[in-house]
Amino acid sequence: MSDSVPSSLAERLLARFGETVAVSSVRRETFAELAPADLLPVAAALRDEAGFRFGVLTDICGVDYLSYGQAEWTAESSTGTGFSRGVQGQALGRFNWAGRPEREGGPRRFMVSIQLLSLELNQRLCLHVYCTDNTLPIIPSVTSVWAGANWYEREAFDLYGIIFDGHPDLRRILTDYGFVGHPFRKDFPLIGNVEVRYDPQQKRVVYEPVSIEPRVGVARVIRDNAGLLQARAEAQDDWRNN
């Protein structure tokens, strides 16, 4: 499939950057985690040096790890107590703007994920950079290395409030002019905050608090994948014929 086996890319990364990056390989994909302070020198090296040659930045996206791994429905301990009603917690869609949860989040709440692609060596790499401060998440901008990072960083700033230090033009990009808040954060309500409509009396567009109620159709549930593995095995030996 590809000219280079990703595990060898992982080895090259370790050989070149050593302790600076934490490399992991899953299913032929390579991930490298690094500290914000190391991002710029590593990025420049990844673009230019032989063995990496990541000339194209494919994608940057922000991630908010608040509420990671939290389910609304306890699925394991059903025998003793019976199932819960599937309304625990304050997952997306269960709160409005006024009732939004005041949560700090864990020590590594905001992460920026950078996808790199090398056209010459036909390899991909995903960089993970965790922000050190939850209240003011800030990482260096890579626009000086890849010009194409410009809008992706604006998007992550707009949606998550992650600040990219050194970005030439860090404005909102997807949300409305004058928008308040960062809508993709896990403590931002799914129904939003304000809605717009045309007011015939005032003859202009007015902003009002949203009129819809928070609602969740399907509860969020986490199950281990033992059932999945079993079903996969059953699919293979077609249990119905036994």
Q: Name the residues that contact other proteins, by CB under 8 A.
A: 1-2, 26-27, 29, 31, 55-59, 61, 63-64, 68-69, 71, 91-93, 113, 115, 119, 122, 124, 126, 146-152, 155, 172-176, 183-184, 190, 216-225, 227-228, 231-232, 234-235, 238
Nearer to other proteins, 51 or 148 (CB): 148
Contact (Cβ atoms closer than 8 angstroms) between residue 83 and residue 19: no
Cβ nearer to other proteins, comparing 49 with 176: 176
Closest approach, Cβ 206 to other proteins, in A, equals 18
Give Cα 171 distance to the centre of its chain.
20
* Torsion angles phi and psi, residue 153, rounded to 5: -70, -35
Smallest gap from Cβ 28 to other proteins, in A, equals: 10
Whose structure tokens read 């009129």? Answer: 211
Nearer to other proteins, 37 or 180 (CB): 180
Q: How many CB atoms lie within 10 A of CB 123?
A: 22
| Angle subtended at Cα 103 by Cα 97 and Cα 109, rounded to the nearest 5 degrees | 110
Lookup: tokens for 38: 């190391």
Taking the least distance from each CB to other proteins, the nearer of 134 and 144 is: 144
Q: What minimum distance in Å lies between the beta carbon of 37 and other proteins?
A: 24
Contact 53, 118 (CB under 8 A): yes
CB 39 within 8 A of CB 143: no
Closer by beta carbon to other proteins, 206 or else 229: 229
User: Least Å distance between CB 83 and other proteins?
Assistant: 12
Cβ closest to other proteins, residue 37 vs residue 207: 207
| Distance in angstroms (rounded) separating the CA atoms of residues 46 and 145 | 10
Nearest approach in angstroms of CB 153 to other proteins is 10
Strand, coil or helix: 20: helix
Tell me the closest approach of the beta carbon of residue 217 to other proteins, in angstroms.
7
